[in-house]
Structure 1
Amino acid sequence: MTYHAHTLTPLGEMILASNGHALTGAWFTGQAHFPQQEDLGHRIEVSDCDVLTDAQAQLLEYFDGQRAVFELPIAPEGTDFQLAVWASLREIPYGYTTTYGAISKIVGPGAPAQAVGQAVGRNKVSIFIPCHRVVAADGKLTGYAGGLERKEFLLALEEPSAEVEGRLF
């Protein structure tokens, strides 16, 4: 059984989904690749599911700058290739970015960066699986299912301070 609940964030409303044991989805309302209503399961209140309660609390801590790592079970459904890409996304540390090409080298020899990009774009657990940390080879921001403005916000939120990075400015 799948459940979903709505929660507000500084970037707008998000839908959080759970199977009761793990977080299975986190989408911005109306984003690209938003699931069909029947795939979201029953609508409940966040407080009706421990997983959703924990996810909401950790998400708000993240937006408040109090959390860099999420500590809850995450179990999105996808193809083996998508799951491999999403697993590699979870290895990108807070405050860092990588490229589609770098991920393609991790997930398998000959995996085209374009296929990686498609899997990244279909990430079902936005923010918790940090697809926003993937940029083009030239460092430019490219597609984000939740919108480039949100991607910019998330990367700015995670940018280390000059003191942490050992920079003067």
Structure 2
Amino acid sequence: MRAKRVFGVLLGVIFAVSLSAGCGNSGSTAGQSSASTPASSTAAATLEAVAFGTKVDIASSDGTAAYTIDNLQPVPREAQIVPAKGVMYAVDVTIVAKSGTPTYNGFYIVARGADGSNIAPAVGSVQPGITSGQLAQGQQVAGHVAYDVPQGQTITAILFRGPKGKVLAVWGAT
């Protein structure tokens, strides 16, 4: 009986891992030009990276916001609120609501490692940080999103993923 229960739990864990591995870890990079570039949930499956500093319009059911990601740089130890286990990097993020009341979330902005893995944001590790909230049309928020990058790893791009994990925009060296 115990072996049957352990097998059931193991099967459940394997299912959950398989399900989450298929959600949101898209290796796609965004096909977009410079200036203010629109992005939506109907964006092409393969996205091309835009240069850091490029403004990208991202539409959601709540409204449209212009996102600018720039200045990927290491964060000095003394500026880290939560000390890095590896090497802390951060980007400057500016979000401007263009229509509606778009929702923003720092956890939607992930880094792509040189090995193709995603590096989750270390929200709250630097100040001022981008957390989450909603903006009325014309309002803006600016701050940093940090990443605790494992030793030996480098960041090749910054991805903006929607709430369901779909990559909607990519910034990187072009």
- Classify the TM-score, shorter chain: under 0.3
Which structure carries more helix by proportion? Answer: 1
More contact order relative to length (CA 8 Å, sep ≥ 6): 2
Q: Give the structure with higher Rg (CA).
A: 2
